[in-house]
Amino acid sequence: MIDPMFFLLRAHDNDGYMFPEYHADSFESWVKLDKRKVNLNFTPRRKLDLSYTYDGYLIASSRFVEYCKKNSLIGFEFISLNSSKFYVVKAIETVSLKENNASSFIEYHQFHEMYSEYFEVVCPTSSDFILDFKNDFAITELKFGTGNQKSGEIFVRGSVGEKMKTEKFKGLFLEKC
């Protein structure tokens, strides 16, 4: 049966950059970061179960990873950092943007010719996406935020989100869609 309810996964920032040398305050200073790269020596400053770096990487504690494995949740890949208590989280399945969505509030600012991408993309809502994913978690193809801080919106199946709420993970928030 398809789960009709979804949550947006939200997490606090962890007060750090995976790659501080790629920090950009403005469109002019933006050097695009290849998000396939991971700094295995990264250590989050804040010890949360789920958090984002300032440059858009989702970081999970070993507690969160074990919970996902124990409950056979599908949709995340975990890359172990050298600090064995933390992992970089990569969502496997993507969610597409609805085409010609006249009710969308998404704003696109400052197109960068060299990267063929906007420097800033803001104001997404769940109604902007086709929520027909098969896994427990899925990420939007379109990334939101500014510069290298952009990251995809992560959706969670409703039944999975309800179970996750009972765990009281530090740093994790689920916003009902």
- For the chain of 177 residues, list the mean pLDDT of each consecutive stretch of 10: 80 92 79 89 93 94 97 96 91 92 92 91 91 93 90 94 95 93
Longest dimension (CA), the chain: 49
Asked, for residue 101, whether it belongs to a domain, the answer is: yes
8-state DSSP, 140: E
Number of domains in the chain: 1
String of DSSP letters for 102-122? TT---EEEEEETTTTEEEEEE
Tell me the pairing of strands 137-146 and 117-122. Answer: antiparallel
Q: How much is the pLDDT for 2?
A: 57
Asked, for residue 47, whether it belongs to a domain, the answer is: yes
Q: How much is the pLDDT for 175?
A: 93
The dihedral formed by the CA atoms of 15, 18, 20 and 26, expressed in degrees to the nearest 10: -80
Q: How much is the pLDDT for 30?
A: 80
Q: How much is the pLDDT for 18?
A: 93
Query: Going by C-beta distance under 8 Å and a sequence separation of 6 or more, which residues neighbour residue 135?
Result: 74, 75, 92, 93
Domain containing 113 equals 6-176
Q: How much is the pLDDT for 104?
A: 92
Q: How much is the pLDDT for 94?
A: 94
Instruction: Please state, in angstroms and rounded to a whole number, the distance separating the CA atoms of residues 106 and 7.
Output: 19
Asked, for residue 160, whether it belongs to a domain, the answer is: yes
Asked, for residue 133, whether it belongs to a domain, the answer is: yes
Asked, for residue 1, whether it belongs to a domain, the answer is: no
Task: Name the pTM for this structure.
Answer: 0.90
113, exposed or middle or buried, with CB in 10 Å at 0-12, 13-18, 19+? Answer: exposed
Instruction: Please state, in angstroms and rounded to a whole number, the distance separating the CA atoms of residues 35 and 18.
Output: 10
Q: How much is the pLDDT for 33?
A: 84
